Structure 1
Amino acid sequence: MGIFNKIFGKNDGHKETQIKSYKDFWDWFVTQEKDFYETIKNHQNIEIDFFDVIAPKLKEINGGFYFLAGMSDDSIAELILTVEGDIKNIIFAEEIIEAAPKLNHWKFTALKPEMNLTSGIEMDGKKFSSENIFFYENEIEGYPDEIDITFVYENLNEETKDAAITGVCIFLDNFLGELNFATQIDTFNVIGKDNAKKELVPITKLKDFLSWREREFTEKYKNVKNFDEEDQFSVFEATLKNGSPLIAAINTSLLTYDSKASYPWISILKVQYNGENNNGLPEKEDYEKLSNIEEQIIEELKIEDGNLYIGRENADNLKESYFASKDFRKPSKVLKKVIDDHPEYKMTLEIYKDKYWQSFERYNVNQN
């Protein structure tokens, strides 16, 4: 497939039709699809007649959508929706593509697929391929399920380190596919060949290695019951460096849970409030509103559906609510809706994989 360009959510004046749903977008797309197809096929004025037209429409649905376009073959144009590996937006790319109509001469794909990179990729005059990229696994004591990988790029040096790391990541994104690269590897680093400490494994064996580790993980936790102990919360207090108080309530019944890795996806909802007159803590009105919002989230992210409420923290005009889940898709949807439904607060969402809940070691949650 010849990829013509990548869009990063440009905005312009093409907003004649307001887009509020997936159906709205595809209904609009159908009215333009013949012109879009000819533009892509003939590679004429693609920036103006395709990219600058479709980007703001997608942005109306989700500001985290980006896309690639090109000819899949001589008669089929392909539109690939990507979220650049952002976990919290993956489900929405999957949903909008699932809602796509069947159109002659069009193929719609959610997330960048894995590609056959026999010749590798070239970026800034450097080549990244199976001939110069290798890997090895790092075993971390106390964290047997953690997949930590060191990637070795032969041509990496201090002067070109940043560009080399970017190139390796782009190679992996295409080699594994966006979903696999974003979800199958827990942590990784990129080094030069001179710094390697183990025997190098050809990058061509990476897919088989990750598939094996995934099967091993699934087998290990397939019979683990959902956590069902009674909640027991403890209050923690501390003082920040700026003198502001920190108050947290953490579900301490989770502290000794020995199957944390079966809930590997951590969601953190951050909500800003005005606590200037209360030492950075929420005043009564905000406290009650934010508590109600959190209760609604807990009701949506049920234990029986594979979600755990870890707790909350208030300090320095910011509330953070913590959840752990077996999968990231439901939390992504529930928490995005909360953000959309409460524009009176500035909220941000972070979702990432942390099999051993190392993010919460300050509360001694990480006990195995």
Structure 2
Amino acid sequence: MILMLSFLGLGKGRAQEKDPMEEPKGIIGRYYEDDLPIIMKFVNELPNDSIISKFPFLTVVSWKYDGSERNGMPPKSVNERMILLEGALESSMSNSDIFTHVYSRTGNNLKELVYYTTKQDEFMKMLNGALEKYDVFPIEINFYEDREWTDFKKILKDFKK
């Protein structure tokens, strides 16, 4: 249940073609789930239709953790590993046109890195290559067909309120 939505600041996103002179449209937002804060990072607009049609699969990389001592947020050591994971994926993104980041969610004992991808097998190959030099991350990856980007549209609508 969403109790409160708020904007915390500006950041950059990737799910759009960028004009280098354009101001960033990314935000960091917060809402509450089970009385615990959830922090969201995302670009605050839909990309153009050519991007949407290119990436039909919602891809969710999930990391469950014990946040009982930090109000649902990850312990420092776990958060440092999560930053490594995000960095590895971000680096791969700059060399790939098979996926685009749409949002990240942290809180209530769960971290999710959410992308739209072209094909599941290509994403998994890229992911395995990006992570091969690291110790195993305790992640789960799920794919959903979402040609209309319904999941992301819901987030935009929720935060627009």
> With structure 1 as the length reference, what TM-score do the two structures score?
0.34
- Offset, 1:304: 5.0
Measured in 2, the distance between the counterparts of 1:303 and 1:309 equals: 13
More helix by share: 1
More strand by share: 2
- Aligned mate of 2:53, from 261, 264, 271: 261
Flag the 1:350–1:314 CA change in 2: closer, same or farther, 3 A. same
- Offset, 1:238: 0.6
Aligned to 1:229: 18
2:112 aligned counterpart, secondary structure: strand
Aligned to 1:289: 81
Flag the 1:353–1:318 CA change in 2: closer, same or farther, 3 A. same
> 1:302 touches 1:308 (CA, 8 Å); kept in 2?
no
Aligned to 2:32: 239
Q: Tell me the amino acid that sits aligned with residue 29 of structure 2.
A: F
Aligned to 2:102: 310
- Offset, 1:232: 3.5
Q: Tell me the amino acid that sits aligned with residue 229 of structure 1.
A: K
Q: Tell me the amino acid that sits aligned with residue 239 of structure 1.
A: Y
Aligned to 1:206: none
Flag the 1:340–1:349 CA change in 2: closer, same or farther, 3 A. farther
Q: Tell me the amino acid that sits aligned with residue 71 of structure 2.
A: N
Flag the 1:271–1:237 CA change in 2: closer, same or farther, 3 A. same
- Aligned mate of 1:248, from 12, 33, 40: 40
> 2:67 touches 2:74 (CA, 8 Å); kept in 1?
yes
- Aligned mate of 2:117, from 325, 348, 362: 325
1:351 aligns to 2:140 (yes or no): no
- Offset, 1:227: 4.6
CA offsets 1:143-188 (integer angstroms, 9 cap, x no match) = xxxxxxxxxxxxxxxxxxxxxxxxxxxxxxxxxxxxxxxxxxxxxx
1:275 aligned counterpart, secondary structure: coil
Aligned residues: 137
Structure index of larger Rg: 1
Measured in 1, the distance between the counterparts of 2:95 and 2:128 equals: 19
CA offsets 1:76-111 (integer angstroms, 9 cap, x no match) = xxxxxxxxxxxxxxxxxxxxxxxxxxxxxxxxxxxx
> 2:25 touches 2:43 (CA, 8 Å); kept in 1?
yes
- Offset, 1:275: 1.3
Q: Which residues in structure 2 correspond to 1:69-148 (within 5 Å)? A: none
2:72 aligned counterpart, secondary structure: coil
- Offset, 1:280: 0.7
> 1:272 touches 1:317 (CA, 8 Å); kept in 2?
yes
Measured in 1, the distance between the counterparts of 2:73 and 2:132 equals: 20
2:141 aligned counterpart, secondary structure: strand
> 2:55 touches 2:118 (CA, 8 Å); kept in 1?
yes
> 1:339 touches 1:348 (CA, 8 Å); kept in 2?
no
1:329 aligned counterpart, secondary structure: helix
Identity %: 18
Measured in 1, the distance between the counterparts of 2:150 and 2:132 equals: 26
5+ residue gaps, structure 1, are 1-225
Structure with the greater relative contact order (CA < 8 A, sep ≥ 6): 1 or 2?
Answer: 2
Measured in 2, the distance between the counterparts of 1:228 and 1:293 equals: 24
2:100 aligned counterpart, secondary structure: strand
Measured in 2, the distance between the counterparts of 1:340 and 1:256 equals: 32
Aligned to 1:361: 153
> With structure 2 as the length reference, what TM-score do the two structures score?
0.71
- Offset, 1:342: 3.9
CA RMSD for the aligned pairs?
2.7
